[in-house]
Amino acid sequence: MAMLSAAKNAMRSLGSTATFSRMLHASPGSKKIVGVFYKANEYASLNPKFVGCVEGSLGIRDWLESQGHQYIVTDDKEGPNCELEKHIHDMHVLITTPFHPAYVTEERIKKAKNLQLLLTAGIGSDHVDLKAAAEAGLTVAEVTGSNVVSVAEDELMRILILVRNFIPGYLQVIKGDWNVAGISYRAYDLEDKTVGTVGAGRIGKLLLQRLKPFNCNLLYHDRIKMEPALEKEIGAKFEEDLDAMLPKCDIIVINMPLTEKTRGMFNKEKIGKLKKGVLIVNNARGAIMDTQAVADACSSGHIAGYSGDVWYPQPAPKDHPWRYMPNQAMTPHISGTTIDAQLRYAAGVKDMLDCYFKGQEFPAQNYIVKEGKLASQYQ
């Protein structure tokens, strides 16, 4: 048995080495690059900087085609007869985006015999089966930092929208109503409220910094404690025990990646630990939450308000319960795809493609899967 196990490990090691050798360097010649983005339709021509859509194609079409590469761009990503499926077998690079995710499953990876590189135009590569990508010897990378400011600003906006009970007031105006009491009975100041972020990476830290002038009580839970100087500058307190932090918070913000460990983390039991009347902002990933548990808690009033731009799946089906639950301020996935963010992640994708063509390394922080290993945040 020991000999058999050793043989299997040796074969696995040899297979990995072979795939990694093709992964690290683009072979000479034309490459087939496929991009999957949302379609802008009539909005495409309204802003020349609108590059994150199908029509804008990240602004790299002329550059790629001038070098002899083939660039296919589509929004059609679902089902066996979609446009993406037609190109899986012979594409070398797939560019995806969290805002209109092409789910790169193990099945799709097995079909993609020429595939070497998966790039995320933005941040968050959980739409890729990362374990399958690692086992296949693929490189997965994203444009780290490209939209952290965009998302942090959006989170702050959503906190204020929920705290001040803004949506009902806006709807009154639209409907021609005027009922101050119907808004003010549950509108509060943000000052002196306790805000806790579950996850304090790049976005979480930026949010805490932006909350400091509001004179909130700031808490954070993360696998890594901040440097003491930064913690003191922000005025945030580290909470090692998440379950101990949750009932202290008036507002909870989700700022962690979607992993096997965090998928469905906020289920009925975890939500039950939250303070009654809590407000939740989630711009991280919809699948971190138990969909029905959130809807039920909003209906019962245990969650007094829920806002975010992330759903599972995406686009959200018309019968998704979050569309119809009370006290929600949901939008499509928009926080990280501002025009400014689009320009940053388009430039980042172009830079990584250029490195790929030249056989050069990407910036270290951009790797999500490299040489069979997952980045620490996904382990």
For the question of residue 9 being annotated catalytic, the response is no
Q: Residue 123, annotated ligand binder?
A: yes
Q: Is the pLDDT of residue 8 over 70?
A: no
Question: Tens digit of pLDDT for each residue in 112-121?
Answer: 999 999 999 9
In this predicted structure, what is the pLDDT of residue 239?
98
Catalytic residue among 87, 100, 127, 285: 285
Could you confirm whether 285 is annotated as catalytic?
yes
Residue 333 falls in the annotated catalytic set? yes
pLDDT at 225: 97
Q: Is 314 a catalytic residue?
A: yes
Catalytic residue, candidates 147, 165, 255, 282: 147
The response to whether 301 counts as a known ligand-binding position is no
pLDDT at position 10: 37
Instruction: Say whether pLDDT at 12 is over 70.
Output: no
Residue 97 assigned ligand-binding role: no
Q: How many degrees, rounded to 5, is the angle at CA 225 between CA 159 and CA 236?
A: 40
Catalytic residue among 69, 92, 158, 333: 333
pLDDT, one tens digit per residue, over 255-311 is: 999 999 999 999 999 999 999 999 999 999 999 999 999 999 999 999 999 999 999
283 in a known ligand binding site? yes
Q: In terms of Cα–Cα distance, which of 105, 312, 281 is closest to 193?
A: 281
Looking at 314, 327, 342, 366, which residue is catalytic? 314
Q: Is 336 among the annotated ligand-binding positions?
A: yes
- Does 338 show up as a binding residue in the annotation? no
Mean residue pLDDT across the chain? 93
Higher local confidence (pLDDT), 348 or 6: 348
pLDDT band at 25 (very low <50, low <70, confident <90, very high): low
- For 105-155, write each residue's pLDDT tens digit: 999 999 999 999 999 999 999 999 999 999 999 999 999 999 999 999 999
Model pTM above 0.75 = yes
| Confidence label for 21 from pLDDT (cuts 50, 70 and 90) | very low
